[in-house]
Structure 1
């Protein structure tokens, strides 16, 4: 990729991840209780990526859908990312799961973090649907933080937008407008060196705090508590470029080979030939990434399943092609996006048109398709839907 095309790619990605939300048409002007009575448009113009927002009773009478015992059971799973953070006797410690045992709930100053719980628990998956005023492509996951009295992860900052929903108990949040984000050295956690808070809030079940990226903050449990963190994607430019190069390496097609036909007699056999430089420069210029390349990369990249996520795949020996006579649904583990002419599911891309395209857009938006609609799809699409069912990417009900 040439320097200029790299710059174009980075600029495109930067706009995608950091610009004010291009909101869906539905409910953009209607006030949302989840946003404290603000419309989605008002929230995005005044707060998103700009200013913190405290929302009392964002979800009225909220009750945590998962018990403490259920969380501890999840922490024992090998296919779920979990971390244990302790600050016993003033010393920070970080351990990675799975955990067959945890400290006593009567012991203060420890925190359990469970990542991507929405992919394992249906109630948490359903909770995320309340945040559908923001495009699914930007959403990362729902993380649950359980803490005993005094537990937390220290003063820190995040590089992404996050909603912090109090699910159980109380937590004291302190936030700062400081620009100094230097970190303590020789610690297992990224803890701010000079945290000076300017505001303080105590959140109870149903309360929610929105924080833009790079806002210094600290949350400390007041007794046992659970906080649900709804986080959004913020990959670095370096990560995106690296992944884009890998993607292009897989899809690139270029026939022929570098020719030595332009070789000339040389008095310096250690010289890098100018003719070779020109030939390779021209070759790379002919393969500058297009907008189509970027669309396909983003669709595949943003629907790529997280590591370790299990799918209920049908055994190869039990696969039998049958008529799709039941409705099909999208399970919580499957990620779907679409763009004009494109459909993306779990890291794969598909060119679609006509009724099949409308069908898949409906599947992406509604999460299910009736048997009557499926019957109107092309034979090729019905066959592909069957394959996705067998792969565990879709389910029949």
Structure 2
């Protein structure tokens, strides 16, 4: 499976983060790997981020999961949508879909959100702060595309939903199975299901705010500093006004801060860790097996796979995996690159992949896990 009649470089040069674009029949004969019952089952599980949005005469209503099976029996015949976040973390078959968008840096990938809607189901007019490819899995959905929004765009709060107060459609597309619609950050859009069994798979890409980047980097720098090292005055002038903060003092403070910020090696490690970080990383860590016991499992035939939803990246010094940086020697660069080309849920050949110490560290980090053939 590959995007049909699609030039990735042209798309990046002319469209990416600029304007919406319909890719008609980009995935011909696409077979959606799940149906409404599958999605509803996921929405009933603890720890799965799920929502139901209903459109009513007086606006929209938001219900948050996890849900009970009986909840779905009380829904009306039309005008509701079920959304489940990070479905690629639970469904191995979605790795193949993610692979179609690897012309975007892997470390920008967020997740795949899946929505199921009956006739008229929608989540209202809105805009997102991230890039998204809306893949029509089954059924039909009519999308209306509006203008670019800003911080000044009027928002109407409907039960916690940040919906646009005013929406004017500039373009309109009817998506059928296999169609893909790209929507950049800040562009208003509104999709309404036409008919039942409408499934849309939203391939989203993370884009932290500049505020989040600066704050996170500052926290990371501070975590390495010695609290005992305190501010020291520059040369003071005894005749200066006692309440004045002079330009010399400001320059002194700026130099102090820049001394810690202007560190390329620190920046590289921090950025790789931040962009591969996952929520609740601590729950993924598994150090219950000693290195000897782990290697024995492999020797006895155990197979490793890349955990569903694992986030990988690399630079010339580190392999970044789920929020941690693992240094590697130059001779392992090709092995690191190969690992980063594997999709989540795929088994790996440990005989030709990195060092045993690195593999064990990735296992303890939860990035690699033992293959469970019961999921097939």
Change (3 A) 1:257 1:196: closer
TM-score between the two structures when normalised by the length of structure 2: 0.83
Measured in 2, the distance between the counterparts of 1:373 and 1:363 equals 10
Structure 1 segment 74-93 matched on structure 2, within 5 A:
74-93=42-61
Structure 1 segment 377-388 matched on structure 2, within 5 A:
381-388=355-362
Measured in 2, the distance between the counterparts of 1:219 and 1:158 equals 13
Measured in 2, the distance between the counterparts of 1:169 and 1:233 equals 27
**Superposed displacement of residue 308, structure 1:** 7.5
- The answer for the alignment partner of 2:97 in structure 1 is 127
Moved beyond 4 Å, runs of 4+: 178-181, 253-282, 316-319
Counting matched residue pairs gives 360
Deviations 1:213-235 (A, max 9, x none): 22221101112211111111222
2:172 to 184, 200, 217: 200
1:102 to 50, 62, 71: 71
Measured in 2, the distance between the counterparts of 1:178 and 1:256 equals 47
TM-score between the two structures when normalised by the length of structure 1: 0.79
1:112 aligns with 2:115: no
**Superposed displacement of residue 262, structure 1:** 7.7
Greater mean deviation of Cα atoms: 283-292 or 237-246:
283-292
**Superposed displacement of residue 238, structure 1:** 1.0
Greater mean deviation of Cα atoms: 338-347 or 43-52:
43-52
Asked if the contact 1:119/1:125 (under 8 Å) is kept, the reply is: no
Measured in 1, the distance between the counterparts of 2:255 and 2:192 equals 58
Q: Unmatched 5+ residue regions in structure 1?
A: 1-31
Q: Secondary structure at the match of 1:357?
A: helix
Q: Unmatched 5+ residue regions in structure 2?
A: 372-376
Change (3 A) 1:194 1:185: closer
1:392 aligns with 2:366: yes
- The answer for the alignment partner of 1:12 in structure 2 is none
Structure 1 segment 227-306 matched on structure 2, within 5 A:
227-252=200-225, 256-258=229-231, 280-306=253-279
Change (3 A) 1:350 1:199: same
Asked if the contact 1:144/1:229 (under 8 Å) is kept, the reply is: yes
Deviations 1:127-167 (A, max 9, x none): 21111121101211111111121111111122222111111
- The answer for the alignment partner of 1:20 in structure 2 is none
Measured in 1, the distance between the counterparts of 2:264 and 2:361 equals 29
Greater mean deviation of Cα atoms: 258-267 or 353-362:
258-267
User: RMSD of aligned C-alpha atoms?
Assistant: 3.2
Asked if the contact 2:129/2:185 (under 8 Å) is kept, the reply is: yes
Greater mean deviation of Cα atoms: 361-370 or 54-63:
361-370
**Superposed displacement of residue 256, structure 1:** 4.3
Structure 1 segment 167-246 matched on structure 2, within 5 A:
167-177=137-147, 182-187=153-158, 188-224=160-196, 225-246=198-219
